[in-house]
Amino acid sequence: MSLTEAETVFAGVHEAGVNELFKAFFTARPRFLTYATPGLVPPATPFTSVPAIAFPGIPGGIEYRIRFEIPTVDFAPDSSGGSSPLPVGTGQLNIRTKVTITVGCYRFFDDTGKDRQGTVIPISTSLEVWARGKPTVTYFSPGNGEVGFSLDEVEIVDITPDSLESVVECILRMVLQAVIRNVRLPFNTLTAGAFSLALVRGPEIEDDQVKIYGNA
Amino acid sequence: MPDIIAAADETAASNLIHAAETTLGTLTKSGSGSLGPFTAAWFASASFSGGMVDLIAPNVVRIANCQLNYSLGFNFSFDLSSILPDFCLPQICIPIPFDGKLCTPKICVNWPTITIPVSNSGVINFTADFSLNVHLSGSDWLIDIVVVGIPFLQIGPAAAAILAAIGLAASLALLAVPFIGPFLAAAVVGITAAIGIAGVTGLLGPILTPFVSGLTFTVYKQPKLFQVLPPALPDPAVNINLDAITAVVASSNEDELVISVDISA
């Protein structure tokens, strides 16, 4: 069967290529990997500033930092060797990353009974995150569009009780989706600039590739 | 497996090649050559358009009926005395009674050498095989298709048109020659006969053949440092390296031009 099938042009990017694109994107724009209140970020570290979580009685609110490693993608069929807790099915993809969540732990001192003086001590935990999703497309005009990724489920292993795992997974699904939404792969990149592609079919996931079909 | 595979069927490949023809633009050459018994200084330009693409695995792009659009200008000098006899009008005297005679001067016509400018434009269709050539040129990746051998140009019809143009140009040039009136038609016939189709072909072939010899169309040109996303303040551009590129013609249930690219961050 031809690559273009019923259309006139085809572009397919292997998961290894998409991982290089992820690496290029997050290396050039590292602020999309770190979301933090300014007080919890080391100097000269690129980050996206977020406000502290306001809470009555905590001066300045709860400071926190969420930092991801550069995600990697695995397109169907599964290439994880059985290690994925969310194995991909037909047309699906896995995104895997590691997230480090840091909270500014505010402690009250009352040594003399005269002063209440607070300090913020950061404490962190790191979690392996697996997500399962599918490709999306935004189509602007013939030849102009972008492929992105949406996440349907997130799995974090080894958290108990299950209710806590569900809460953490929900939070991380929302956050990781927001992170991944920043990664856009223009059609022109998927074709390596070989030709303009007016989308007819796709994006489709198969053969470890994301594929789009169209007319030149 | 390569990181990126881009494929185009023959329809899309035709579009790529027609775009490459346009990008190549108009080529120009000048020189001088034999036009039958004469020497002509010429200036020529050529561009390419159209053609049906036939992809032949593993490495041939055949373009059928590609149009070579040429525009040719040349001029040559012609000594009219070589075909028209020089002559003299004798002196004629008329006797005038009581006052001698009145004589006309003797007038001799020595036919001049005239310069005849000719211009002609036309189209020559040709079919040629091209091979794929992927290479780095400076900081750019190029995929060229390079003509194989020297395509045959059917220049007979063009030669006939040019010979007719020579006749027309000769007529215009001759009109300025005194006393040519009765000899005009004979002069034109003499000039075109002296050149003949063979003479025009002998000039046209060496002019047009270099335009198709080594003919190269660039169907792909991208910088090795390829921009994925442009800068968007406060963020810089996102680039990848195009580390390796291959291009082949693959044949399955249809023939396709397949470009494979390996990338790195």
CA distance B214 to B148: 8
Residue A136: Cβ within 10 Å count: 14
User: Which residues have C-beta within 8 Å of that of residue A85, sequence separation ≥ 6?
Assistant: A130, A155, A157
Helix, coil or strand: residue B236: coil
Of the candidates A126, A107, A137, which has an alpha carbon nearest to the alpha carbon of residue A203? A137
Domain residues for the domain of A129 are 9-215
CA distance B106 to B94: 14
In a domain, A60, yes or no: yes
Of the candidates A134, A158, A160, A166, which has an alpha carbon nearest to the alpha carbon of residue A147? A134
- CATH number at A185 reads 3.15.10
Q: Which two tokens stand for residue B249?
A: 């013609």
The strand ranges marked E within chain B are 4-9, 27-35, 38-49, 52-56, 60-79, 87-89, 93-95, 101-103, 107-109, 113-137, 140-147, 216-223, 225-229, 238-251, 255-264
CA distance B35 to A168: 88
Instruction: Give the pLDDT score at A107.
Output: 75
Mean pLDDT of B232-247: 95
Q: Which of A78-87, B59-68, B110-119, B207-216 has the lowest mean pLDDT?
A: B110-119
Range among A5-9, A39-43, B30-34, B187-191 with highest mean pLDDT value = A5-9
| pLDDT, averaged across chain B | 89
Q: Would you say residue B249 has pLDDT above 90?
A: yes
Own/partner pairs, A41-44, CB within 8 angstroms, 24+ separation: A41/A65
Q: Which residues of B touch A11 (CB under 8 A)?
A: 4-7
In a domain, A1, yes or no: no
Instruction: Give the pLDDT score at B155.
Output: 83
CA distance B143 to B134: 4
Q: Would you say residue B183 has pLDDT above 80?
A: no
Q: Which of A122-131, A192-201, B136-145, B185-194 has the lowest mean pLDDT?
A: B185-194
Q: With contact defined as beta carbons under 8 Å apart, do A75 and A85 qualify?
A: no
Following CA atoms A37, A41, A45, A51 in sequence, which dihedral angle do they give, to the nearest 10 degrees? 0
Comparing A213 with B98, the larger pLDDT belongs to: A213
Quick check: bond before A142 cis, omega within 30?
A: no
Q: With contact defined as beta carbons under 8 Å apart, do A148 and A185 qualify?
A: yes
Residue A159: what residue type? I
Q: Which of B27-31, B75-79, B123-127 has the lowest mean pLDDT?
A: B75-79
In a domain, A84, yes or no: yes
Instruction: Give the pLDDT score at A62.
Output: 93
Helices B184-212 and B156-174 sit at what angle, rounded to 10 degrees?
Answer: 140
Domain count, chain A: 1
How long a stretch of residues is chain A?
A: 216
Q: To probe the interface with A, which of B140, B221, B228, B252 has the most A CB atoms within 10 Å?
A: B228
Q: Distances in Å between the alpha carbon of A194 and those of A35, A40, A150, B142, B257?
A: 36, 45, 27, 10, 11
Per-state percent for chain A, helix, strand, coil, to nearest 5: 20, 45, 35
Q: What is the pTM of this model?
A: 0.86
Q: In this complex, do A13 and B3 lie within 8 Å of one another by their Cβ atoms?
A: yes
Low-confidence spans in chain A with pLDDT less than 70: 108-118
Q: Please write the tens of the pLDDT for every residue from B213-223.
A: 999 999 999 99
Element (H, E) at A64: strand A64-68
Instruction: Give the pLDDT score at A88.
Output: 94
Phi and psi, residue B33, nearest 5°: -160, 175
Residue of A11, A13, A20 lying closest to B264 (CB–CB): A20
Of the candidates B264, B191, B255, which has an alpha carbon nearest to the alpha carbon of residue B62? B255
Instruction: Give the pLDDT score at A117.
Output: 59
Q: Please write the tens of the pLDDT for every residue from B166-179.
A: 888 888 877 777 77
Q: Which residues of A touch B264 (CB under 8 A)?
A: 20
CA distance B141 to B218: 10
Instruction: Give the pLDDT score at A109.
Output: 62
In a domain, A3, yes or no: no
DSSP A98-116: EEEEEEEEEEEE-SSSS--
Interface pTM, i.e. ipTM: 0.91
Residue B173: what residue type? A
Q: Using alpha carbons only, what angle is made at residue A24 by residues A23 and A25, rounded to the nearest 5 degrees?
A: 90
In a domain, A4, yes or no: no
Instruction: Give the pLDDT score at B74.
Output: 87
Shortest Cα distance, chain A CAs vs residue B34, angstroms = 45
Residues in B lying within 8 Å of A, measured between beta carbons: 1-9, 11-12, 15-16, 220, 222, 226, 228-229, 234-240, 242, 245, 250, 252-254, 256, 258-259, 261, 263-265
Mean pLDDT of B198-222: 91
In a domain, A59, yes or no: yes
Helix, coil or strand: residue B33: strand
Q: Which residues of B touch A29 (CB under 8 A)?
A: 235-236, 238
In a domain, A80, yes or no: yes
